[in-house]
Amino acid sequence: MNRKAIIGVMGPGEQATTNDLQNAYQLGYLIAQQGWVLLTGGRNVGVMEAASQGAKAAQGLTIGILPGNNTSGVSTAVDIAIVTDMGNARNNINVLSSDVVIACGMGAGTASEIALAIKSNKFVILLNDDLNSKDFFQKLAPKNIYIAHSVSDAITLTRNVLVNC
Amino acid sequence: MNRKAIIGVMGPGEQATTNDLQNAYQLGYLIAQQGWVLLTGGRNVGVMEAASQGAKAAQGLTIGILPGNNTSGVSTAVDIAIVTDMGNARNNINVLSSDVVIACGMGAGTASEIALAIKSNKFVILLNDDLNSKDFFQKLAPKNIYIAHSVSDAITLTRNVLVNC
Amino acid sequence: MNRKAIIGVMGPGEQATTNDLQNAYQLGYLIAQQGWVLLTGGRNVGVMEAASQGAKAAQGLTIGILPGNNTSGVSTAVDIAIVTDMGNARNNINVLSSDVVIACGMGAGTASEIALAIKSNKFVILLNDDLNSKDFFQKLAPKNIYIAHSVSDAITLTRNVLVNC
Amino acid sequence: MNRKAIIGVMGPGEQATTNDLQNAYQLGYLIAQQGWVLLTGGRNVGVMEAASQGAKAAQGLTIGILPGNNTSGVSTAVDIAIVTDMGNARNNINVLSSDVVIACGMGAGTASEIALAIKSNKFVILLNDDLNSKDFFQKLAPKNIYIAHSVSDAITLTRNVLVNC
C-alpha cells in the first residue's frame, strides 16, 4: 500500500498524569518525524491533546476520532476530525484504524482500547507505570502485547511491528 | 420504573472453561428465578450460550446483542435478538443496557466490557479465577468492581446493587 | 426458530401528526394481538410512544432501541430498553433487528430507516400520506416496498411477508 | 478553526452509472483544487473510487470511512482509511464528519446518507437525474437541500455553504 502507517496513541483524558502528558507529546513528535500519521481520540485534553500537539510540532498529520456528534472539544492540533457520535464505542474504531496501538498511561477508556485491540488481533505497546495492567494484559495476550520502557523504546517497537506485518 | 432489571452476563465464547460454563448456566438460572431479564452477547457458544440456556430452564426472558448483520449463530435460548452489525463495538451496548454486569470468566472481549462498564460508571461483579484481572480492575475502579466468590455470591451482590441504585 | 417475530414500527417523534399517532397506536395494538414483538426507537414521543402504548394495551412485549447513553426519555410502555449511545446510527439496529419494518408517517429519521432497511434487503411497509416518499422509495426498491392503505392493510401485508420469508 | 473543510461525496458503489462516475471524478478533482479534503465511503468501486481518484489527480487529501473490520477493498486513492466495522451505520459517520455533503447519483445507501444528514441539520447538495429523489428530499427539508445542475454548480454551492456556516 501507499498509505502511510497510522499509529494510534491512546491514553487518559482528564486523568492523565504529568508523566503521561510528557510521554504523549514526545510520542506524537517522534511519530510525525518517522513520517507516520497520528491517530487519537481527538479531544483537547490529556494524552490525546499532548500527542496531537507533539505531532504538529514536527509537522505531522493528525487524526482525531471524536465521541460526540460535532467537533466541539476537538484539539486544535487535530487536522482531520472524524465525528462518530458513538461515545465510548468509538474506541473500537480507534484501534481498528491504527496499524499499531500505543497505550500511554492507563484508565478505563485506555483499558477498553487495549482489550478491543487484542480482540481484533492488533499489536499494542504499553508505556506506563501500572504493573497490574502489564501483568494482566501480557498474560491475557502474550503475542499481542509489548512493554516499552521509554518513549524511544515504544518507537523502536512500533517500527519493528510495522516491518513485520 | 416498571421495567424489570436487566442483568448482563459477559464472558468468553469459544475460550470459556468448563467452570465458566457451569457458572454461566447457574447464573442464568438464578437471574431468571429472581424475575430479572438476562442480557448476553447472544451467540450460541460459551458463556453466552450457557447463561441463556440456564435462564430459559427457569422460564426467564433472554436478550442477545449480536455482533453480526443477521441472526445466524444466535443461541436457540435467546428470545429477543438485537442485530447490531457493529462487531466488538456492540460490547458497549451490552454494558449500557445492563443494570448490573457480571463478568463470568475472562478474555479480551470480557475485559473490554468490564472496562467500558467502568467508563460508564456501571457496577461490575467479577466471577473468575484470574487474580491478575481482579488486581487490575479493582485498582482501576475500586467503587465499581465487586468480587464474587461463588455464583450465589454474585446473585447476592447483584441484588444489593439493584436495591441501592 | 422459536423466537417470536419482531415488527419494527418507525416514524416521527416530535413531528408526528395526529393521524400518525392514531395509526401507530393501532399498529402497536394489533401487532401485540398477533403475538408479535414490537420494536421502536423507544423514546416517549410521537410514533414510538403511541405504538408502544398500543402494544401494552394488548399485553404485548415492547422493545425500545434508544439513541442516548442511558434510559432517560424512554417510553413508560417500553419493556426492554436497549441503550446504544449511537445517536441516529441506532436506526440501522432498528431495521436489522426487525423481521418487517412498518414506516408510519414520514420524516428524516424515518426516511433513513427505510433507506437502511432497503440497503439490507428488508421488507418495508409504508403507511403515510406522503406521495413523494412513495414515488421515491417504490422506484428505488420495488421488491422491498409495500404500500399500505390502512392499519389493517399494514398488518395483512406484514403477515404475508412473515409467511413468505 | 485551522482545519481544512471536509467535503463528503456520497453515491452508489457497484450500481453507479457512467454519468455518476464522471461527475464523481470531476467533483473529487475540483474539491482537491479548492484545498478541501475529500471524504467518501472509501471502497474501491463506484462514486467512492471515482471521487477519490479525481482528488488524488489534483494532489488532494482523501479520507475513506470503511464499513468492514479491515482495509480490504479500500480504494488505492484513499490516503486515510478509517476502519469502522459498523456496516451501513458508518453512513452516519460519513455525514457527521463532512462540512457539506454532495450526493452524486442515487441508491439506498445514498438515500440513507441524505436522510441522516438532514436529521443532523447538515447541508446536502443533490447532483443526479432522479426527479423523485429531488421532489422527496426538497419537500422533506427545504432548508437543507440544494439542487446542483452540474459539477461546477455543486462546487459553487459548496463554497457558498462553507462561507455562510
How high is the pLDDT of residue B164? Answer: 85
Q: What is the pLDDT of residue D106?
A: 97
Contacts with C62 from chain B: Cβ below 8 Å: none
**Which pLDDT value is given to residue A164?**
85
Whole-number percent of chain D with pLDDT over 70: 99
Q: Could you list the mean pLDDT of each consecutive 10-residue stretch along chain A, which spans 165 residues?
A: 89 97 98 98 98 98 98 98 98 98 98 98 95 96 98 98 89
B63 close contact with C: CB closer than 8 A: yes
Segment D139-152 shows an average pLDDT of: 98
pLDDT band at D30 (very low <50, low <70, confident <90, very high): very high
Q: What is the pLDDT of residue D129?
A: 87
Q: Is the minimum CB–CB distance between C84 and chain B shorter than 8 Å? A: yes
In whole angstroms, give the CA distance from residue C7 to residue C98. Answer: 5
Give contacts of A 105-124 with D, CB under 8 A. Answer: 120
Residue B150 has pLDDT above 80, yes or no: yes
Instruction: Quote the ipTM score.
Output: 0.97
* Chain D contact probe: residue of B70, B86, B90, B112 with most D CBs at under 10 A: B86
A154 contact partners, CB below 8 Å, separation of at least 6: A27, A102, A125, A127, A148
Backbone angles phi, psi at D114, to 5 degrees: -60, -45
Is A111:A95 a contact under the CB 8 Å cutoff?
A: no
Mean pLDDT, residues C81-95 taken together:
98
Closest listed residue to residue D7, CA positions, set D119, D132, D127: D127
Mean pLDDT on D118-137 = 96
- Structural domains of chain B ordered from first start: 6-150 (3.40.50.450)
pLDDT at B129: 87
CA dihedral B63, B67, B73, B74 (to 10 degrees): 10
> What is the reported pLDDT for D165?
73
pLDDT number for residue C152? 98
Q: Do A65 and D81 touch (CB under 8 A)?
A: no
For residue D1, is pLDDT > 70?
no
pLDDT digits (tens, 9 = 90+) for B98-136: 999 999 999 999 999 999 999 999 999 999 988 999 999
Q: How confident is the model at residue D64 (pLDDT cuts 50, 70, 90)?
A: very high
Strands A37-40 and C80-83: unpaired
Residues of C in Cβ contact (< 8 Å) with A88: 85
Q: How far is it, in rounded angstroms, from Cα C67 to Cα C47?
A: 15
